[in-house]
Structure 1
């Protein structure tokens, strides 16, 4: 019956401890005190942006970015600054130019598999971006929606820059979309602000949904689901490759611009 009662906005302690174990897969070693549970990635983005940004603030994003981010930013009155991309995602040179030209408060990226281009960031690229983030004291928001599909992931920027980084780990696409669950890693500086945003939106994520997700993690069912999804992805990719002739490759599309 405890899952039917109201919880604290950040979620039950036992669930956040399991979340910390899950997030460690992506080279972020944290604890329950720095985790908040939200009702999916879009809810996590809404809470993060409304808590840390004000109307008119500027947020740098990939020139091809997640459509949900654009909708949320528009709703909150944030200005998005498009940063050029290549096959590894956001261009450090382009980001530096934009930061030099105007006042950027934060940067939104997808560290492992970028949506919608599929670009993958290398360790070298992460370090290049990190230097710029530190130079301009930017807030980093990393949205890990698809990293679980990779057998090995690069270290996200949040692992090197925890004091001003928000790391979002979406679980809905890993397991069951209807359960709408995401884990958010936030430093002490931002934690209470995001907690308040959760209260202001849904009060708390349904504990029953989170309990199902956590059970999938602890009994290793989530690993079976991931392996099945990887196998299906490989099958679909092999089918696509048979029709690849005549299709433009990702790098060509990126270099052409919008």
Structure 2
């Protein structure tokens, strides 16, 4: 591996790094195909800013000296011919998809086949290859109840519906309860899934003002008076995208207002299992008006495609199952059985805890690299909400980040207001390893300090 040093004759530090690297390549002191140290390691070795090293990497890439491979790192180019190479766009590191990391202690390549083999080898294992009830078989609903009961009381299997993911659950609930033109109140920045459902069903989304703690109850009360919403959609824990977690008193205030004005609550709570501090779920505070959605996609893996819905009562659970029967028919039986097996064996909690621990490490890494930037984050979550300085528009920043090789999501994707805050969501779980995440965050830190590169339309 190359030992970083500076060419003192170079006019600028970042050029000194590139010139030294190029000289070592041409002299044979470093071989083609060898891995280059991470940007952070080079910055520490040379006592320079990360942004200086980022500029050096960009220049080295332009010269054709190095090649980046997403998830593996950066390597000395195998094809450098001594001339200046044409500038090539770097491979894109996806920090846009909000999925949990895969901790080194959890090898899905092993536990998935082992789990499936265990399910199929059980006495009634082959039944998981058959059609099943649309609300889920009793064994899966009992396993779900035992898992949910660790943070929500009381939960009975009769009120639980097993679905093929949170998105289809959300659509089915809206299909059951709402009609075209109905108003749904939600945070001004909200999960794009509810925006997609609203567009499909002709629902009207009413934006609610938010602060660092989430939806402001006074804003909800005003909307109830003026707009008369039929439902309130809320992500109470580690909100997507703002990362806010509603305090208990605010949850109680929203529940009281919903009850006063006859509003049903859609509680989408995918991140609660990641937080060590338990807060009462809104379904606990108002189980008669709340539909609670708990997916495994954010605390285990989206590959399971399993989510559990807690309905207000058994009768409404059966009504929701009828809607599912007409749409997805049933959740994937094999994956439902696998999730139940992991719940009973304790493997599901082990994976969730490992993900939360990995998130803590990655969030600390992000806080270090983005020091000086303004952002919000939860230490156990796998995304952060990065506020941009005045000279950047979120759409421009996301566009230029993509050109630099990092994919992120601008605020407009989440906004249900005309003029959203200038911010972007950065997902830290999707990066294949900490090294790739470090490179991506360093690119963002470098870009955010530059003048806006937004272009004006040609007239």
Deviation at 1:201, TM superposition (A): 0.8
Structure 1: segments with no counterpart, 5+ residues = none
- 111-120 or 23-32, which deviates more: 23-32
| Aligned: 1:100 with 2:225 | yes
Aligned equivalent of 2:206, options 47, 56, 81? 81
Structure-2 residue corresponding to 1:192: 318
Write the distance in 2 (CA, Å) between the matches of 1:220 and 1:191: 27
Q: Could you give the per-residue CA deviations for residues 210-229 of structure 1, whole angstroms, max 9, x where no partner exists?
A: 00011111101112111211
Q: Could you give the per-residue CA deviations for residues 110-151 of structure 1, whole angstroms, max 9, x where no partner exists?
A: 121111110011111111111101111110010111111101
For residue 162 of structure 1, give the secondary structure of its aligned residue in structure 2. coil
Write the distance in 2 (CA, Å) between the matches of 1:172 and 1:155: 21
Write out aligned runs for 1:113-132 (5 A).
113-132=238-257
**TM-score with structure 2 setting the length:** 0.54
The answer as to whether partners of 2:305 and 2:332 remain within 8 angstroms in 1 is no
| Aligned: 1:236 with 2:372 | no
Structure-2 residue corresponding to 1:245: 371
Deviation at 1:202, TM superposition (A): 1.1
Structure-1 residue corresponding to 2:330: 204
| Aligned: 1:146 with 2:296 | no
Structure-2 residue corresponding to 1:137: 262
Aligned equivalent of 2:290, options 147, 154, 165? 165
The answer as to whether partners of 1:133 and 1:140 remain within 8 angstroms in 2 is yes
**TM-score with structure 1 setting the length:** 0.95
Q: Could you give the per-residue CA deviations for residues 198-242 of structure 1, whole angstroms, max 9, x where no partner exists?
A: 011111112111000111111011121112111211111111111
The answer as to whether partners of 2:152 and 2:280 remain within 8 angstroms in 1 is yes
RMSD (Å) for aligned C-alpha atoms: 1.7
For residue 163 of structure 1, give the secondary structure of its aligned residue in structure 2. coil
In structure 2, do the counterparts of structure 1 residues 252 and 95 end up closer, same or farther at CA, with 3 Å as the change threshold? farther
Deviation at 1:173, TM superposition (A): 2.5
Deviation at 1:179, TM superposition (A): 1.5
Q: How many residues align?
A: 257
Structure of larger gyration radius: 2
Write the distance in 2 (CA, Å) between the matches of 1:104 and 1:93: 15
Structure 2: segments with no counterpart, 5+ residues = 1-125, 377-384, 388-410, 412-418, 422-459
Deviation at 1:247, TM superposition (A): 1.2
| Aligned: 1:64 with 2:189 | yes
The answer as to whether partners of 2:296 and 2:307 remain within 8 angstroms in 1 is yes
Comparing both chains, which one has the higher relative contact order based on Cα–Cα distances under 8 Å and sequence gaps of 6 or more?
A: 1
Deviation at 1:252, TM superposition (A): 9.5
Write the distance in 2 (CA, Å) between the matches of 1:102 and 1:87: 24
Structure-1 residue corresponding to 2:428: none
In structure 2, do the counterparts of structure 1 residues 55 and 228 end up closer, same or farther at CA, with 3 Å as the change threshold? same
